[in-house]
Amino acid sequence: MTQILPAHSSQAIKLARRLLREGEVVALPTDTVYGLGANAFERIAVRQIFKLKQRPPDKPIPVFIYQIDDLNLVARHVPNRAWPLLQEFWPGPLTVVLPKVAALPDDVTVGQDTVAVRIPDHPVSLELVIKFGRPLAVTSANLSGQPTPPTAQGVADQLGPALPLVLDSGPSPSSQP
């Protein structure tokens, strides 16, 4: 059964961090919609996102980082022309596609040599990335092809009991990932 806990609770963040370290997937609020997050460097956890969402195997999953300095954890190179955009629009819903580092599993990028990266502008998403200490693979918390539920309860209802935890911060600010 899926637990739904208040996102701003330190206990909920600790539980989410523990689950992520154990290779589980958790649902978390973002600055757009609720997302499914897993350790970006744990292949089995990333595969679980695909399974939970019934996501086509050819769709890569974006990666959340905490700060611009963390780009080197997932990207080999950032073009000079990208820096002004990153500095102006991060944190926020801007996603950039960059050459990936070799250590990032192909499960995240579905075999592509690039990775989609962003820094979310949501306190819970950022806190979870900080407390977890590694980049998170995060995509919308919905069944593929279905609308993303705007509430934690909707996420739990749509994705079912295989999802262990939803961090609830109220209705999502957007209906678009």
Predicted local confidence at residue 7, as pLDDT: 97
pLDDT recorded at residue 25: 99
Cα distance between residue 27 and residue 38, in whole Å: 9
CA atoms within 13 A on the CB side of 85: 12
pLDDT computed for residue 173 by the predictor: 84
User: Model confidence over 34-54: pLDDT tens digits?
Assistant: 999 999 999 999 999 999 999
Going from N- to C-terminal start, the domains of the chain cover 10-144
Average pLDDT over residues 146-171: 97
DSSP symbols for the chain: --EEEETT-HHHHHHHHHHHHTT--EEE--SSS-EEEEETT-HHHHHHHHHHHT--TT----EE-SSGGGGGGTBS---GGGHHHHHHHTTTT--EEEEBPTTS-HHHHTT-SEEEEE----HHHHHHHHHHTS-EEEEESS-TTSPPPSSHHHHHHHH-TT--EEEE-SS-S-S--
Interval 75-127: pLDDT, tens: 999 999 999 999 999 999 999 999 999 999 999 999 999 999 999 999 999 99
- The CA distance from 98 to 64, in Å, is 13
Cα 134 to Cα 31, 32, 96, 110, 169: the distances in Å are 19, 21, 18, 20, 22
Edge-first strand listing for the sheet containing 63-64: 3-6, 165-168, 26-28, 35-39, 136-140, 63-64, 114-118, 96-99
Question: Is CATH 3.90.870.10 what the domain over 10-144 is classified as, yes or no?
Answer: yes
* Mean pLDDT for all residues in the chain: 96
pLDDT of residue 160: 93
